[in-house]
């Protein structure tokens, strides 16, 4: 009985100690492709000091918990980038990316022309890193499109939770995109639908809002250049609604597996 009591007391003290050091949970966008990427990203985050790490293949969101006196968001992102994976604030060195397994070589994040690529030193301190951090311009249409694709892919898989998480990232991307690309009215319309998807776990509601969201995205695609890669407008005759895709193959987000290949290609931007 005494041994049990001692063990409980020890466990309590360890938990209390961790709490006292400033346990923090954060979400970090990390580009990747597959289960192999998931294992490597999570392992790298833990080596960089994360207590827990969970990367979602659908949303590309890494959820980490760490003690602030042991590591930081900066150190975790820096380690992941050195392993070959682009993060929301850091871009992996081309050599590190090229060393990834073929199936792990994801479509890389788009960087604006004004971005200064820097190689972070191994012994960089947080203050020094902050001075050298890659500064992406506010007008970030590729990030907006990437977040939209995350929602679309989640709906293809009929995953309401992933769709909500992807829409939450889309809301941030819409808010960060400048007025040169998004008019005030268009931004308002996009935010309305993205927020509705983020706040719902009902696939029927999410798909309904995704239809109007996609209609606005199609109109935007007609006036701006999202990225260097083709953007395909596809159309569902049953739903009478379009969506944007990075792949010519039809994968219908309005019906998922029930009618996965229902649709046709309408335009390429």
Residue with the larger pLDDT of the pair 48 and 93? 48
Which of the 8 DSSP states describes residue 53? Answer: E
Whether residue 1 is predicted with pLDDT greater than 70 in this model: the reply is: no
Partners of 23 in the beta sheet? 67
Q: What is the mean pLDDT of residues 176-192?
A: 85
Question: Residue 32 half-sphere exposure, CB side, CA atoms within 13 Å?
Answer: 28
Tens of pLDDT, residue by residue over 115-161, are: 334 344 444 443 333 433 333 434 578 889 999 999 999 999 999 99
Q: Do the Cβ atoms of 147 and 173 come closer than 8 Å?
A: yes
pLDDT at residue 117 in the model: 41
Kindly state the tokens that stand for 268.
Answer: 């390429």
Mean pLDDT, the chain, whole residue set:
83
Of the candidates 196, 143, 141, which has an alpha carbon nearest to the alpha carbon of residue 168?
196
Q: What is the pLDDT of residues 14-28, one digit of tens each?
A: 554 444 446 889 999
pTM: 0.52
Q: Give the DSSP per-residue string, 55-88.
A: E-TTT-EEEEEEETTT--HHHHHHHHHHTT--BS
Rounded to whole angstroms, how far apart are CA atoms 192 and 197?
A: 9
Pick 260 or 227 by higher pLDDT: 260
Q: Which of 98, 109, 106, 131 is nearest to 36 (CA)?
A: 106
């Amino acid at each position: 009985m005494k041994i049990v009591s001692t063990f409980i007391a020890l466990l309590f003290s360890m938990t209390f100690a961790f709490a006292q050091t400033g346990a923090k949970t954060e979400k970090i966008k990390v580009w990747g492709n597959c289960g192999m990427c998931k294992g490597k990203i999570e392992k790298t985050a833990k080596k960089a000091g994360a207590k827990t790490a969970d990367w979602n293949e659908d949303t590309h969101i890494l959820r980490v918990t760490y003690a602030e006196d042991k590591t930081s968001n900066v150190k975790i992102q820096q380690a992941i980038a050195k392993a070959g994976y682009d993060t929301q604030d850091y871009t992996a060195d081309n050599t590190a990316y090229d060393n990834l397994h073929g199936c792990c070589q994801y479509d890389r994040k788009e960087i604006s022309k004004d971005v200064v690529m820097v190689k972070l030193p191994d012994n960089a301190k947080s203050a020094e890193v902050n001075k050298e951090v890659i500064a992406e311009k506010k007008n970030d249409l590729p990030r907006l499109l990437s977040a939209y694709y995350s929602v679309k892919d989640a709906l293809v898989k009929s995953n309401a939770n992933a769709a909500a998480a992807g829409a939450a990232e889309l809301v941030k991307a819409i808010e960060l995109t400048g007025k040169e690309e998004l008019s005030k009215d268009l931004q308002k319309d996009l935010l309305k639908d993205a927020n509705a998807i983020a706040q719902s776990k009902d696939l029927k509601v999410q798909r309904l809002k995704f239809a109007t969201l996609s209609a606005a995205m199609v109109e935007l695609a007609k006036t701006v250049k999202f990225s260097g890669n083709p953007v395909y407008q596809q159309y569902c005759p049953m739903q009478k609604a379009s969506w944007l895709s990075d792949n010519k193959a039809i994968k219908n987000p309005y019906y998922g597996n029930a009618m996965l290949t229902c649709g046709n290609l309408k335009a390429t931007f």
